[in-house]
Structures are given as structure tokens and as C-alpha cells.
Chain A
Amino acid sequence: MGGGCHRPSTGRLGGRAGVSMDRPESKSDARRHRFVRNLNAAPDDNRRLGRIVATVLVGLLVFCFATESEWWPFSGFSLFSQVRGPEQTSWNLYVVDSQGAREAVALDSLPESHWGSHHVLPTLPDASGEEQRAAARAWVQAAGYDLDEVEQVQVVRTVSLVPTDLDASAREVSQTVTLTIDFP
């Protein structure tokens, strides 16, 4: 066992103290020595570093939670925190043409790059007129409508009843136009 290979006496943590005297220090030896030097020579420094990281990390987590700030990936963590009931709210976009015909924009069928963009709809009434028009134009174009034929775009809040059967579909309870954007 061991093949008679005698190595110099090792230090407390297995560092080969005399190795550089016999032959050039290998990369792995150098790495091990650096590791031992850095970590054991200054445990207080490492403790201090740990405390700083812990204070900043935990502090930011608690701050964002307490102030409900969303500094992603720090968050207020309001995941499913509201009580759900039989009614659900969805936000939709409708286009109205020059004849007054109204059609829902299939936001689910938009290109993948527009995935989740319907989450912008509830905040759109608070945006400036120019921002509202630009956003509406982006959706309508992505959905393949000819902008020249669109007179108006409506943001609609729909409340419907959640179906309790897989074969049933959601029954609409109310529809409210929350924003109307006229296209020049």
C-alpha cells in the first residue's frame, strides 16, 4: 500500500509545506496553498465578509417585503396572496373599424416575443396619450391588422365566472371599456 512513496510531512490542513524545495510547485499545489492561506490565515476577515453579505442580502429582502417594492429579483413576494372567488378578471383589446365593427384582438395568438404583454393593459390608462397610441399600434400590427382600417382601439376589463367543469367555458358577467384610443 502506498508504493513506498514518502511525501514530506503535511501541515495541519494537508498542505505540503516543503514541496517547492524539491520540485517546481504544480498548479494544483499552488491552488491548494492559496486556498489554505486565504481561508485559514484570516477567518475573522471571512466572518466579517459573511456578516456584510448577510446584512445586505437580508436587509434588501426585508426592505422590499416591508415596502412592497419590486426590485427584481428582490420582491414583495405577494404570490397568490389575494383570496380568489368565483369571478375572474381579464383584460382584452378590441379594434373598431370605420364601419363601427368591433373585434377582439387575439392576444394569445401574438408572436412569442409579445408573450405576456397583456399584463401591460391594466396600466395603460395611466400612460400618456402618445404611449397609449404607440402600445396599441404595436399590438394591432403584431396581430396583423391594417392600421389604415382601424379607427379605434379599446382596452376592456372583462369579469367572468370561473367554470367548474372542464367542458364549460367562462361565462361573462360584465365588460367595461377602461380606455379608448382613437387612431388618426
Chain B
Amino acid sequence: MSGSVASPVDLRQLDQAVFGPGSAHRVACVRTALVVVIGLRLISHQWWSLSGRPAELFRPVPIVSWLATVPSAWLLVAVEVVGLTAVVLCVMKRWPRITFVLAWASLLFLAALHSSSGKIMHNEVLLLLACVPLMFAPGGARVWDRRETVASGWPPRLALIVVALVYFMTGLEKLMNSGRDWVASDNLSWVLYAGAQSDASVLPALAIAIAGTWLPPVIAGLSLTLELAAPVLLWGRRTRYLFAAGIVGMHVGIGLLIGLDYSAWALTVIVLVFPWDQLRQATSEERTTTRFLPIRLAR
């Protein structure tokens, strides 16, 4: 995805924008940052506490439907340790392709068990889906790598497309299920009132205070607009930052007011939107200046 916007009918230009060459530096940075987010998610839960659930209360999601119930605690700890070890190795650039997949698979397995309680949990879903294209990224790509290759180009772009699509579908689902009432009614006020009763809410008094004002429909309108406009906003380089700022604000608000942890979503967006290439350019310019400064002074 370049900064320029392709004409909707120009499929060749669109194809080039997605599958054209891209920087090996960016793909290495995105992979490393995403695996760090995976690591944070792996240590943020006591996954072993899932163990001991009776088989009668286990409602497995399809990918763990081969299990009769949640495995024993030691196995869950082992999976977590394998995942965290893979995260460390991937950050250290040791077999980054394999270790990235291992870390991802560990979180996938543990989060799938977490989601097997009769209610689908979406907390890790965006991170897991956005990581899929990065599994195909070249293992040899390194941070500060100046090479531009086709293999390095499409994985981070496709991850961004996945993010755009997920947010768009989330918004569209609201529109399809509830229409404009999702924004225009007291919907968000009641979400805030109910969320404030949750033990997980950090600022319940603020949630109650906001719920009683004119703000909820405005916030609902902005959130829905942000979700529906995700594909457009993520396409342009500058509007990407606007999208990321809005999304981070939305998820921080949800976390503080109603206690739902969507930090993995916010972090995924930050990682994919961050201008890694500009960071490389800025750093290399700084390096050049620093390197030649003493010579200039000597002259």
C-alpha cells in the first residue's frame, strides 16, 4: 500500500500496490513487533487456570474440537513456555520464520481453549489473523536491511488489509443488526451503565458520568465511522495515523470504562501502521551525519 490511491478500476495498479516490492527492514520490524505483542499476550493470562474444566462444560471452538476437554496444567504451562521461548528467539533473529510460527501457534492454542466456554472470545482474534501473512515473510529479512523485495512487500500489506477488513466487518455487522439505532438511540449509554457495574471497569464513575450526557451518541457515531472507513483510512499513508489514533483511543476507552481488554487489537494496529521505513531513513541520515561530523570539523 503506497501513499497514492489507485483508481478503483485499475486492478494492475492495485495488484502492484499490494504485491509489489517492499522493504525487508519493514517486514523484519513488523514481525519482531508482532511477536513481542504475542509474548505480551502469552504472559498476560494464567492460561494454566483453564485446566480442570469438566468435559461437560467444555464447548471447543473448531480448531480444538479434537480435544475432549482442556488439557492438564503442566501441558498448558509447557505450551506457554515454548511460545515465550519462541518469542525470545524470534526477537534475537534465531530462525525467525519458524519461531514466529511457533509463538503464534502457542497463542492460538491457548486462546482457542480460552474461547471454548460457550462464548466466542475476540480478544486475540485480530492479532492472530494479522500475523498469518507474516508467517510467509522471508526469514532472512533484518532490521535496517535496505533490500526491497517482492517477498518482503506483501506480508505487512496483507496484514494491514486483514485489519481493515476486520474493522470494516465489525462496523458493517452493527449497521446490519441494529441500523442507525446503534448510534442514534441510548445504546451506548446503556453499554456504559452496564459496563460500570463490571469489576473489570477501571473508571466506573466516569462511565456513569459520560453515560448521562450527550456524548454517547457522538462517541458511537465516531466509532462506527472509524470502523466502516477502515479500508479507506488504512489505504492512505497519512490517514493511517488518524485511524490508528482513533482506534487506540477507542480501545483504551473501552478498557478503562467497561473493562474489556482489547489491547491486542490496539497494539496490532500500532505495529502495522508505524512508519518503520521512515524510522530507518531517519536513523540512517542521523548515522551519516554523525559519521561525517568529525571529518567536517577536522577540516
Q: Does A100 contact B (CB under 8 A)?
A: no
Of the residues B19, B62, B191, B193, contact of A51 by C-beta under 8 Å = B19
Verify A50–B57 contact, CB threshold 8 A. Answer: no
Interface SS of chain B: helix
Q: Does A164 contact B (CB under 8 A)?
A: yes
Interface residue tally on A, bucketed by range? 35 or more
Verify A79–B194 contact, CB threshold 8 A. Answer: no
Binding-face segment, A18-26, A53-61, A144-152, A176-184: A53-61
Q: Please provide the chain A residues from 10 to 37 with a CB less than 8 Å away from any CB of chain B in the complex.
A: 13-14, 31-32, 34-36
Verify A77–B19 contact, CB threshold 8 A. Answer: no
Residues of the A chain whose Cβ atoms lie less than 8 Å from the Cβ of B51: 113
A68 to chain B, nearest CB (A): 9
B147 to chain A, nearest CB (A): 5
Verify A119–B150 contact, CB threshold 8 A. Answer: no
Q: Report the Cα distance A72→B204, complex, angstroms.
A: 31
Q: Does B263 contact A (CB under 8 A)?
A: no
Contact (A166, B204) CB under 8 Å given A57-B158, A70-B61? yes
Of the residues B112, B138, B177, contact of A78 by C-beta under 8 Å = B177
User: Chain A residue with minimal CB distance to B207?
Assistant: A166
Q: Please provide the chain B residues from 181 to 199 with a CB less than 8 Å away from any CB of chain A in the complex.
A: 181-182, 185-188, 190-191, 193-194, 196-197
User: Chain B residue with minimal CB distance to A116?
Assistant: B117
Contact with B along A57-85 (1 / 0, CB 8 A): 11001100100001111111111111111
Q: Does B270 contact A (CB under 8 A)?
A: no
Contact (A72, B70) CB under 8 Å given A61-B129, A81-B177, A83-B187? no
Q: Does B23 contact A (CB under 8 A)?
A: no
Binding-face segment, B83-91, B119-127, B272-280: B119-127
Count of CB-CB pairs between chains A and B under 8 Å? 193
Q: Does B284 contact A (CB under 8 A)?
A: no
Verify A85–B196 contact, CB threshold 8 A. Answer: no
Residues of the B chain whose Cβ atoms lie less than 8 Å from the Cβ of A40: 149
17 contacts between A and B (CB under 8 A): A46-B150, A47-B19, A47-B154, A50-B154, A53-B132, A53-B154, A57-B132, A71-B63, A81-B170, A81-B182, A112-B46, A117-B118, A123-B59, A138-B57, A162-B190, A163-B197, A164-B211
Known: A57-B162, A61-B169, A117-B57. 14 other contacts (CB 8 A): A39-B151, A43-B151, A46-B149, A47-B19, A47-B150, A50-B150, A61-B162, A72-B125, A81-B174, A84-B187, A115-B117, A119-B117, A123-B59, A135-B57
Residue ranges of B at the interface with A (Cβ–Cβ < 8 Å) = 18-19, 21, 46, 49-54, 56-57, 59, 61-63, 70, 108, 111-112, 115, 117-120, 122, 124-125, 128-129, 132-133, 136, 138-141, 146-147, 149-155, 158, 161-162, 165-166, 169-170, 172-174, 176-178, 181-182, 185-188, 190-191, 193-194, 196-197, 204-205, 208, 211-212
Residue ranges of A at the interface with B (Cβ–Cβ < 8 Å) = 13-14, 31-32, 34-36, 38-40, 43, 46-47, 49-51, 53-54, 57-58, 61-62, 65, 70-86, 88, 111-121, 123, 131, 134-135, 137-139, 142, 162-166, 170
